[in-house]
Amino acid sequence: MTNEINRRTIETRRGPMSWFETGAGWPLVLLHGFPLTAEMWRGQLERAPADWRFIAPELSSALPADGVRTIDDYASDVASLLDALMIDDAVIGGLSMGGYVTFALFRQAPSLFSGMILADTRPQADTEAARIARMRMRELLTHDGVKAVADDMIPKLLSDRTMREQPDVAGRVRAIVEMNPPRAVDAALDAMMRRPDSTPDLPHISCATLVIVGEEDAVTPVAEADAMHRAIERSALVTLPRAGHLSNLEQPEAFSRALADFLLAHL
Ligand code: MLT
C-alpha cells in the first residue's frame, strides 16, 4: 500500500507556495533538483517512513513577476513555508540544486535543521566553464524551449545504464521536466550560475547529515560526495549502485531505504 499524497498551496509572507505532502509526525523536507519539480519525489513520498511528515516544496511556486530568483530567494521561500506551517525544525535536504538551496537555508537559519540530507549535490559555486554552459542553455531555452533543455540534460542526469535499461525512467523525467514553465527553468539557471561557494559552511554543519550519491553520477560524482562527507563531522555517506545523478528516480527503493535507515538511526 502506498501513502496518500496531497498537493497543497498556502499564502506565505513571500507569496504563494505549493508543496506535496504525506504522513504525520516529524517534519522531513526535501527540495527538488533542476530542471525538475517536486513531482520528482513521488517515489519517496509513496514510501515515506512511518512517523514522518514528508513535505516536498515546489521551488518555482513563488516566482515573482520579474522572474528573477537567487538561490537565497528559494531558501527564503522554503523558510516562509515552514514558518506558515508553524514548523520550527525539520530534517531538510535536497538533490543537486535542492542541495544548493539547502546550504543557503542553513546559512540563513541553521536552527531550522534537526538533520540534513545532501543527495547528488556539491557545495562549490559554478566554475567559469559551467557559467558559460548555463548561458548556452539559457539561449537554447529561449530559442527551442523546455523540450530542448530536456533533450540536452536527460542523458547527463541519468546514468548510461538507466538510459539503456530503464527507458520508462527517462520518459518519466522528461514528463516532469516538460511540466516546468520556461521562465521557471530560466530563473533557476540564472540563480545557479550566481550561487556562492558553500564549502566554508561544511565544518559548521553540526546536525546529523546523510550524504547520498548514485555510484554512476556523472554530474556530482562519488569523489565529490566523499569530500563533502569528510568535511561534515556527523555525516554518513551512502553510495547507491546502478544510479546516476537522479539517484532517487533511478533507484527509488534503495534511496528510500537509505533515507529511512538514516532517519531511524540518527534522529
Ligand atoms: C540538478 O540536478 O539540480 C542540476 O544538475 C544542478 C546543476 O545543474 O548544477
- pLDDT reported for residue 49: 87
Residue 219 Cβ inside 6 Å of ligand 1? The answer reads yes
Report the residue among 97, 118, 152 best suited for mutation to probe ligand 1: largest number of ligand atoms under 8 A from its CB: 97
Ligand 1 atom with least separation from CA of 246:
2
**Cα–ligand 1 centroid distance for 173 (angstroms):** 13
Average pLDDT over residues 73-91: 97
Kindly tell me if the per-residue pLDDT of 27 is higher than 80: yes
Average pLDDT over residues 94-107: 98
- pLDDT reported for residue 117: 98
Of 171, 246, 257, 236, nearest in space to 215 by CA = 246
**Would the pTM count as exceeding 0.95?**
yes
Ligand 1 atom with least separation from CA of 34:
3
Kindly tell me if the per-residue pLDDT of 82 is higher than 80: yes
Residue 173 Cβ inside 6 Å of ligand 1? The answer reads no
Average pLDDT over residues 110-122: 98
**Cα–ligand 1 centroid distance for 97 (angstroms):** 5
Residue 100 Cβ inside 6 Å of ligand 1? The answer reads no
Query: Residue 59 in contact with residue 101, Cβ under 8 Å?
Result: yes
- pLDDT reported for residue 192: 98
- pLDDT reported for residue 156: 97
- pLDDT reported for residue 32: 98
- pLDDT reported for residue 33: 98
Q: Calculate the average pLDDT of the chain.
A: 96
- pLDDT reported for residue 65: 78
Residue 119 Cβ inside 6 Å of ligand 1? The answer reads no
Of 99, 103, 104, nearest in space to 33 by CA = 99
- pLDDT reported for residue 62: 76
Grid cell digits, residue 99: 542541495
Question: For the chain, what percent of residues have pLDDT higher than 70?
Answer: 99
The CA-based dihedral angle spanning residues 4, 7, 13, 14, taken in that order and rounded to the nearest 10 degrees: 130
Grid cell digits, residue 161: 545504464
Average pLDDT over residues 161-168: 97
Average pLDDT over residues 181-193: 96
- pLDDT reported for residue 68: 86
- pLDDT reported for residue 41: 98
* pLDDT tens column, 170-181: 999 999 999 999
- pLDDT reported for residue 14: 86
- pLDDT reported for residue 1: 64
Residue 44 Cβ inside 6 Å of ligand 1? The answer reads no
Burial (CB < 10 A; 0-12, 13-18, 19+), residue 236, is middle
Query: From the CB of residue 194, how many other CB atoms can be counted at a distance below 10 Å?
Result: 15
**Cα–ligand 1 centroid distance for 93 (angstroms):** 14
Of 34, 29, 19, 28, nearest in space to 146 by CA = 34
Grid cell digits, residue 11: 499564502
Average pLDDT over residues 189-199: 98
- pLDDT reported for residue 155: 97
Residue 102 Cβ inside 6 Å of ligand 1? The answer reads no
**Cα–ligand 1 centroid distance for 94 (angstroms):** 11
64/21: higher pLDDT: 21
Kindly tell me if the per-residue pLDDT of 267 is higher than 80: no
* pLDDT tens column, 230-239: 999 999 999 9
Query: From the CB of residue 18, how many other CB atoms can be counted at a distance below 10 Å?
Result: 18
The CATH number of the structural domain formed by 6-124+197-266 is 3.40.50.1820
For residue 35, cis peptide bond before it (omega within 30 degrees of 0): yes
C-alpha to C-alpha distance for 157 and 246, rounded to whole angstroms: 6
**Cα–ligand 1 centroid distance for 245 (angstroms):** 9
